Structure 1
Amino acid sequence: MTDTIPVFDGHNDFLLRLYRAPQNRGRLWLEGGPGGHIDLPRMQAGGMAGGLFAIFLPSPAYPGGPDTLTRMPEPPFTIPLPPPLEAGDVAGAVMAMLGHWAWMERAAGGAFAICRTVEELRAAMDRETVAGVLHLEGAEAIGPDLDTLHVLHAAGLRSLGPVWSRPNAFGHGVPFAFPAGPDVGPGLTEAGKDLVRECNALKILVDLSHLNAAGVEDVAAISDAPLVATHSNAHALCPSPRNLTDRQLDMIAERGGLVGLNFGVFFLREDGRDDPQCGWEPVLRHLDYLIEKLGEDHVGFGSDFDGCVVPDVLGDAAGLQGLIGELRSHGFDEPLLRKLACENWLGVLKRTWGA
């Protein structure tokens, strides 16, 4: 019998599920299924030892927008971006999700731990406690004075994406489109550049996922930390603007960063469709390509669980050891599997956080 290989995952949207159904949070977190991809029982069943949990502020319905962000139209398509969020829409949602985040640890009775350092991550994993790290996807909750960034850091924030596709005070993201590239619009604003510098000072990871090409260039020019895309794939294999071009992959490799493989089928399939009946083949193709471009020390997983459609052969977090088994059959040896599943993430967080 093969030992379970622990998995650290770079991105999930579980907090959004709690935010949308707070009356059911006990069932959603502690009992698990049906629906969604992630909860405590399924993480434990799949050997998911930890991950980055995103605070994501959903946009209200808008003209021309998709019915749901987890499904996309039949390609080719171009969907208008959501307008910027109004300031009044932000603060309450962030506080609600922070409350759910703290509750998750209390409710788990020692089975889940909020972590702020790599030392805390490793200690939690050693005692077989699922380890969680707080991430902010889209910085609308933060004002140009950056005071809220310090408040969130004190609350445990250790990873931040300046934008989620829609524009905000800090920069511009990529559209919902296929086929398309990320070279659209201007990059970071002056406030966005200040945000990156302050994240560097606080040792908060700056996530390149969702940034447009100019924004990625700006982060690379300003930041003194490793370049990381928590949940993105290879544009050469799937021409979604959410995926990374070869130039961007080269930049990440040069800076000792990491790319977390996104399990979303419309970021994996070369035809851009959201049909989950695709088997393991697109997952393997992207992993092979990312390892070729970045090296085996700079690739991990960034599932996007609860934020996308995943291959039916994976299913949900409980299927992660099935993925490990498929990678083993693909020819990946045990040291490489452990790097991809967990150690590369812990390494880049150590290089970013310094502890």
Structure 2
Amino acid sequence: MSDPKPPGDGEAHAELVVARRVEVTAEVVMLELRSPERVALSLWTVGAHIDLVLPSGRIRQYSLCGDPTDNSVYVIAVQRQETGRGGSVEVCDSIAVGQLLTVRGPRNHFPMGDSVNYLFIAGGIGITPISAMVREVASAQRDWKLVYGGRALDQMPFLNELVELGGDRVVPVPQDESGFPDIEALVGEVPTGTAIYCCGPSPMLAAVELAVESLRDDVSLHIERFVAPDVAASPRLSFEVELRRSGVTVVVPPEKSILEVVLDTIGDVDFSCEQGICGACETKILEGRPEHHDSLLSEEERESNATMMICVGRSKTGKLVLDL
């Protein structure tokens, strides 16, 4: 095995082989991806994800749920979503051991910081980034608790190994037996200074956000979304975008995103989720004032006007100049 690469910045591309495929539950498939040449993979930290370029051309992001100290393999788990955009069905039905897949990343927009106490709240396949976090804090002998909701016990991936790891620190909440987690009670009882990390369905994330906002000003909340939150509609107007490095200026009409126009014009730019939640299309702004609609940038980052997600962002000025 060669020396490890530095942590990924989201630009790395690699051709990896599916070395192992496991049906963790009836709806969740776990894949282990390795280098065919046994080259060390880019290092990653808990909370990171990779972009998987599927044979159909679809690009989907999946959280890494393995061991970040093992640079020989990337482990992801994919839940089949019949009503989704097709990526999960393709992975679960078509991806086989021995198949080569293009991987981009890793990148991390859900990093875990230091805290004296942690509360992890996971719903469904949202356990994927949370499971890696739990293993890390358990190894570091920090104080932690995991509340894990799912439709039924046999549909909750990694539950048994997490219970073995944490015992009564792990609280399963199967919906068919116990309903939904009592979010207000969970948030209300944690000690001052607790870091809350949450990933799962949008209604659960909204409930956690509301509980923290209304009950606690002495804890920190960190959320990863798989789906962009609903936002109030705003008028969509045309504007110009100058692609400085390419030497062209284009018009973005109301019915198209900046990303769509850029792809039509210069073609080769990174993107993945097209919902402003993954960060793949983050682009440097040289001039103009963007209108942000992503779920990643902080208020300080938005006010700096330094970068934007061109899949969802628009412009407050008649023209934007981008470093493309």
- Pick 1 or 2: higher relative contact order, CA cutoff 8 A, min separation 6: 1
Greater helix share, structure number: 1
What is the TM-score of this pair, normalised by structure 2? 0.32
Greater strand share, structure number: 2
Larger radius of gyration: 2
